[in-house]
Structures are given as structure tokens and as C-alpha cells.
A and B are shown apart, each in its own frame.
Chain A
């Protein structure tokens, strides 16, 4: 029973945090662009803006196109959101503070987070919209090419720590974070970050959404709360990526003096803002360029880091 309450609390917490991450992004982006950002709703920092956004989306008309396949169309937003939320189940938020201490944590995260692809493809195909179909095609293309370097980059901390358990990986880094391992750490983090950005459909790899040519891609026919689900999933995915990066490469909750939760939160916030910074300063690359980059640069690079990790471990 306590477990149930515990998980519900974390779920609610994650959703609220994700809602407020949209506000953080808007504020961050507006500062970057020499604007002020939202401030009217919840003066002076716009702290009620996410609530207003959610209310607006709730009262919007829920449109299902007449040619769409309603069952799949309605199911798709859930299939996108659910796996992302499940990732948070295994994340250690602090010392002795983890919902499910899986001994295959890394494998679980990789497996479950790639399920969002199915939801995206369901949304794209069931909308029967030409833009959406193109976007679904792109999503599959992108996913198959990025999954490999992502997995290989995640394997580096696993090899070094000798465990797939996230708690063990963090515990192993209590002296030196993996990011500070010379060459090896930085290279594998780079590969991880790039492929994770691609997996989360984030700028400069957000070709599935590709507002300038595909309007909104797979989300083009969605409105109201279903659209909000996609948005929640996107931000939750980003948050998950930041968490995983903080745990695998930045020593998780480890750090002197301050309590463990604060350390983890500040690392996650830093990584999240770093991703936002990338998003708001780059333009989008093309699908074929992503594929070429992934297979010709990232894949060999991740193999090299894997080899280096093996040598490091043996030596």
C-alpha cells in the first residue's frame, strides 16, 4: 500500500515538474532571445502559465478526422506518454530513495523508452494525413539509426561500473564521475547526448515534428488534451534523458556537503538547461544528414568508446 502511494506521489510530482518545465523553457528561451516571456498569468513570473495552458487545452474541442482510425488514433497519445513515465520508476532520486531497484536498470530504460516510437508511428499512420505519414516515416528512420549509438554509449558506464543497476553505477562514481574519465568519459557522454537528443526528437533533430515543412508532423491532426499528451511526453522524455545522463555520467546524487536530492536536482536542471540551450540556438538538420552522421560518425565513435572502456576496465 505504501508503495502505491509512493509511486502515485512520484507520478504526480513528475507531471507537475514537467508542466513547470514548459514554463522554464519559455522563460529561458525568451531570455535568450531578449524577450521577457510569459508574465501576465501569475504576475510577475508567469507561474500560473502552465495551469492556464492546461486549462486551455482541456476546454478545446477534441477533433477526430473522419478518415482517421479512431481506436488507434485515441490510443497513440497514451502509448507515447506511458513508456516515458515508466522510465521514472527505476531512477534513484537520492540515497535509498528509489521505487524499483532493478538490477537491469539501464537495459530497462533503453528498452522502455524506445517504445515511444510505436506511439508516434501509430499517431502518424492512424491520422491518415500526408504530413503525418511522412513524419512517421522519418521517426522510424531516425529511431533505427540512433538506437545503436545510444545503447553503446550507455554501455560504457555499465562496463566501467560492472553493473546495470543504476544505484550501483552511482555508488561506483562516488570518487570520480564518469564524465571526468579522460577522453573516454567526454566522448561517450557526447555520443550519449547527441543520440538521446535524437531519440527525444529534440532540436536539431526534431525532424519528426519539423514545423517548417511538416507543420507539426505526427501531431498535425491532434487537438486538445491528446495534443497535450504528446507535449507532456516530449518534456517528460527530456527530463528522463537529463536524469539518465546525470546518473550515468555525472555521479547521480553524489556530491559533498549538500543533501543527495539537491545534488541530483541541480545536475538534472543543468543538463536540462544545456539541452534547451542547444535547442534555441541551432537550426534543424535534414533526415539524410542525420542518418549519415549517425552511421558514419556516431556509430564508429561509440564503438571506439566501448573499446576504450574495455581496455580501461581490464587495465
Chain B
């Protein structure tokens, strides 16, 4: 830790002093104001020429104190709040929080609600991976070049999904769709056909992106053998989701510990074999295809019935779960998103702890970048897909 603080303090020293002191190594302070640190990450780098000797991520620039805030809000009030954590995939945050509270209340939710939850979660996964793909283009190519072309293409497709969400929930980003005991809205008329049209369009688009990236020589040389994550290191640090699966470990909570009726859906878990940036990218792209499959099954097999538990969880008054503690976890687009909830029987949680996949994935950064070039830092950081709303909370 002492070492770390030294690094961060010395990064402010002007160039001249540093060159005199350090010889041929150079300390660089990258961020929090930097075009490709995915928001507000700060990385303190020790460089020798272009080669990274040491990297130290500094987080906390987007800390909003969610966990403490949640202790002063009722359970119903927390749902719109948690939407703002992983703002690229809000619906997964609501989902895991509602699952935790339902576990504590021991409420069974109707099949239709469970299916709608799967539908929204998978749509969200596709939208989130599209944002990742676009920003990964920016990481590799900058905002003035081929990267931004990919970025805008991806946002064009994401728009179709956001339109669907708007139809379903009335909001494009912060949906407040899940509620304790089910979901809030019935799908409108004609929703099914529009979802199917979306699937058709996106399936084509994703194949196109796959060809654009995986057959592209420049993309290959930038990502292959860069930031290789061994399964051992991945497990030790607690890597999650596509990052871990890129290293060849077939670990997905949708299969390992199915929630919200995921056991009724047919889908594969794509894995990579080397664990480099290319594998992680290709896993995410193939995951989008699988997610579209699940969306298709969910919309076709959508059961009739209520969308919230009967008898209804009394939402008009405060929800008061019994005393106890519970841990719920789901597979968010970034990995295992967990909620540890302690209730003391009052209408407000005693403690609400989030286990954010972005946070544990970001911890890999100093291990992966050492020995690579300066330009590779962005390729590696982008392939970890951190969202700072979730890292800092």
C-alpha cells in the first residue's frame, strides 16, 4: 500500500524532475479525465519507453454512496436507485435486488413475470454488449477513425432495443420495471411481433460485426495474445462473466444456479480458449447471439396470467421483510452481480452490500497490462468492460 501511494503522488511531478530522478522510466497519470478510461478511471503508469512496468488503477471518482443511501430508503424506493449503478444495464440491478427481497419475503412470483424478467434481462445483455462493442472500437481506434464508425453502428442497433424498452416500460434507460413480487407492466399490443422483427435485424447485424472484427487483420493484431488471462489468475482474483469465460472456464450463473426460470431455456455458453482480448471480444459477440435465442424463446413461450405475486406484496405501504440475511446473485452482462441484504425487520434494509463484477474484473488490470505496450492498456481495459457506476457505487 505504501508503494501505491508513492506511485500516485509522484505522478504529479513535472517531466523534468522525473527524468532526472528516475532515469529512463516515466510515470504517467492517465485519467480520470482521459478519452478512453470508460468514464472516470485513473491509472498511474510506470513506463519504460512504451512498455508498461507497473500500473495502478485508482478508483472512487464516481462514488455516490449507494450502499449507505439504501440504508435510509424503503425497499420500494431503492429499486429506482439501483438503476443508476450499472447504468449500461439497469434492468439487471433491479432484478437482483428484487430477487434478494423476494428471497427474504419468501414470495413466489408468477411464471409470466419470471419470463418477462428473463426477456428484459437478455435484451439488456444485448444492449449492454453492443455498447461494449462500440466503445471497444473507440478504445482501439479513437473517436476519429474506424472505431467511431463501429461505435455509431452499434448505437444504431442498440436504439432498436431501447425503443422496445420504451414501449414496455416508458423509459429508455432507467426502467424501474421490476418490482418486489413481479414486474410492473404488461407488454403492450403487438410487442411480440416487434420483438421478433428486432431479433431478425440484430441477428444479421451481429453476424456482420463478427465478420467485421474477427476477420479483420488489424483487429486481430491488436487483440490476439494481448492481456492473456490464465484461468488460475482469473479464479484467484475473482474474475467474472465474459472475462472468465474468455479464458475457457464454462461458468455462468444462468446455468450453474438458475434463477427466474432460466432452467427452462435452451442456450449455450460460449467460451474462449486462450484468454486474450480477442477471445473475450469473441465471447461477448457470441453471447449476444445466444441472448437473442433466449429472447425468442421467452417471447414465444410467454405464459398468460398475472405479472405480480398473488396475494400482492403490499407495495402501497412499506415492505417489511422478516429479520434475516440473504444473498442473491445473477449473471449480469459483466458477470456475477450479487446482493447481500440484511434486514432487521424494519421497512428499510439494515445493510445492503453489492458485489459488483466490474470491480473484481478491474482488479485484473494491473496483472494483465504489465509487459505490454502503452496502446495495449486501452485494448485490455476495454476488454474487461468496466462500468464505473458499478465499480464505485
Question: Which chain A residues have a beta carbon within 8 Å of chain B's beta carbons?
Answer: 29, 32-35, 67, 128-131, 133-134, 137-138, 203-204, 206-207, 209-215, 279-289
Contact of A210 among B15, B142, B156 (CB under 8 A): B142
Contact with A along B16-46 (1 / 0, CB 8 A): 1000000000101010001110000000000
Min CB gap B295→A, angstroms:
24
Contact: A287 with B50, CB < 8 Å?
yes
Contact: B221 with A203, CB < 8 Å?
no
10 residue pairs from A and B, CB less than 8 Å apart: A33-B148, A35-B152, A129-B15, A211-B144, A212-B141, A215-B35, A282-B218, A284-B145, A284-B147, A287-B50
Give the residue name and chain of the A residue nearest to B33 (CB).
A215
The A contact surface, by secondary structure, is loop
Contact of A286 among B49, B137, B148, B222 (CB under 8 A): B222
Min CB gap B362→A, angstroms:
18
Contact of A283 among B16, B49, B137, B153 (CB under 8 A): B137
CB of B375 within 8 A of chain A? yes
Min CB gap A207→B, angstroms:
7
Contact: A282 with B145, CB < 8 Å?
yes
Min CB gap A210→B, angstroms:
7
Contact (A212, B378) CB under 8 Å given A131-B28, A206-B145: yes
In the assembled complex, the Cα of A29 lies from the Cα of B222 at a distance in Å of: 23
Contact of B35 among A128, A204, A211 (CB under 8 A): A211
In the assembled complex, the Cα of A284 lies from the Cα of B30 at a distance in Å of: 19
Min CB gap A38→B, angstroms:
15
In the assembled complex, the Cα of A283 lies from the Cα of B135 at a distance in Å of: 12
In the assembled complex, the Cα of A287 lies from the Cα of B49 at a distance in Å of: 12
In the assembled complex, the Cα of A131 lies from the Cα of B145 at a distance in Å of: 20
Taking A34-B156, A279-B144 as known contacts, 16 extra A-B pairs with beta carbons closer than 8 A to each other, sorted by chain A number, are: A133-B26, A206-B142, A206-B145, A211-B35, A211-B144, A212-B139, A212-B142, A212-B378, A281-B149, A282-B141, A284-B141, A284-B142, A284-B145, A284-B147, A284-B375, A287-B373
Min CB gap A259→B, angstroms:
36
Going nearest first, the 4 A-B pairs with the smallest beta carbon separation are A283-B141, A211-B142, A283-B140, A212-B36
In the assembled complex, the Cα of A32 lies from the Cα of B35 at a distance in Å of: 23
Contact: B142 with A279, CB < 8 Å?
no
Question: Which chain B residues have a beta carbon within 8 Å of chain A's beta carbons?
Answer: 14-16, 26, 28, 30, 34-36, 47, 49-50, 137-149, 152-153, 156, 218-219, 221-222, 373-378
In the assembled complex, the Cα of A281 lies from the Cα of B140 at a distance in Å of: 12
In the assembled complex, the Cα of A282 lies from the Cα of B219 at a distance in Å of: 8
Min CB gap A295→B, angstroms:
16
Give the residue name and chain of the A residue nearest to B223 (CB).
A283
Contact: A280 with B28, CB < 8 Å?
no
Contact: B218 with A204, CB < 8 Å?
yes
In the assembled complex, the Cα of A131 lies from the Cα of B138 at a distance in Å of: 19
When distances are taken between beta carbons in the complex, the residues of chain A under 8 Å from B138 are 212
When distances are taken between beta carbons in the complex, the residues of chain B under 8 Å from A33 are 148-149, 152-153
Min CB gap A238→B, angstroms:
13
When distances are taken between beta carbons in the complex, the residues of chain A under 8 Å from B374 are 134, 213-214
Contact: A130 with B141, CB < 8 Å?
no
Contact: B145 with A283, CB < 8 Å?
yes
When distances are taken between beta carbons in the complex, the residues of chain B under 8 Å from A130 are 15, 26, 28
In the assembled complex, the Cα of A283 lies from the Cα of B134 at a distance in Å of: 12
Which of the listed residues A128, A138, A204, A212 has the most CB atoms from chain B within 10 Å of its own CB?
A212
Min CB gap A66→B, angstroms:
10
Contact of B153 among A34, A134, A203 (CB under 8 A): A34
When distances are taken between beta carbons in the complex, the residues of chain A under 8 Å from B148 are 33, 280
Which of the listed residues B30, B148, B149 has the most CB atoms from chain A within 10 Å of its own CB?
B149
Contact of A213 among B15, B36, B49 (CB under 8 A): B36
Contact: B375 with A213, CB < 8 Å?
yes
Contact: A289 with B221, CB < 8 Å?
yes
Min CB gap A72→B, angstroms:
15
Give the residue name and chain of the B residue nearest to A30 (CB).
B152
In the assembled complex, the Cα of A145 lies from the Cα of B202 at a distance in Å of: 43
In the assembled complex, the Cα of A67 lies from the Cα of B12 at a distance in Å of: 14
Contact of A288 among B15, B156, B218, B373 (CB under 8 A): B373
In the assembled complex, the Cα of A56 lies from the Cα of B190 at a distance in Å of: 49
In the assembled complex, the Cα of A210 lies from the Cα of B36 at a distance in Å of: 11
When distances are taken between beta carbons in the complex, the residues of chain A under 8 Å from B377 are 213
